[in-house]
Amino acid sequence: MVENQKKPNPIDVHVGSRLRLRRNMAGLSQEKLGKQLGITFQQIQKYEKGTNRMGASRLQEIAEILKTPISYFFEDAPSTGLAQGEATGSGFSESGGADYVVDFLSSSEGLQLNKAFIKIEDAKVRRKVIDLVKALAKDED
């Protein structure tokens, strides 16, 4: 007998990962966000993994708490092809190639690095930081 577990929809996974990223950037724990929404932190976990789908009103409430536009959650979302009038049989064209970026920015180190990098006002200095990181990465190879 084959176990028929339903895989999360790629859009739900993407929106959930954007929720996790924005929540971390705002410095909110799953528990604190859940409390503000009147739900458990486990429900927030399910939203972030894409295993539970968020309704439109819940997504709007989350966007207001996190002080971000709803469109933020859909930026760089995988395309279904429906907007271009393509056939629906081919599935999603993107298979999560940018997941590593979301994972990095959701980590403590990634979040700290991103916050510090954004504060560097001089574009030349930012470029030098990028060059330094690239040089260090080559040394590791």
pLDDT at residue 89 in the model: 43
pLDDT at residue 8 in the model: 87
pLDDT at residue 87 in the model: 44
> Is the overall model pTM greater than 0.75, yes or no?
no
Cα–Cα distance measured from residue 21 to residue 15, given in angstroms and rounded to the nearest whole number: 10
Where b means 16+ CB within 10 Å and e means fewer, 42-51 reads: ebbebbbebe
Domain topology for 1-81: 434 Repressor (Amino-terminal Domain) (1.10.260)
Cα–Cα distance measured from residue 138 to residue 114, given in angstroms and rounded to the nearest whole number: 21
Segments of the chain scoring below 50 in pLDDT: 84-96
Cα–Cα distance measured from residue 35 to residue 109, given in angstroms and rounded to the nearest whole number: 26
pLDDT at residue 79 in the model: 78
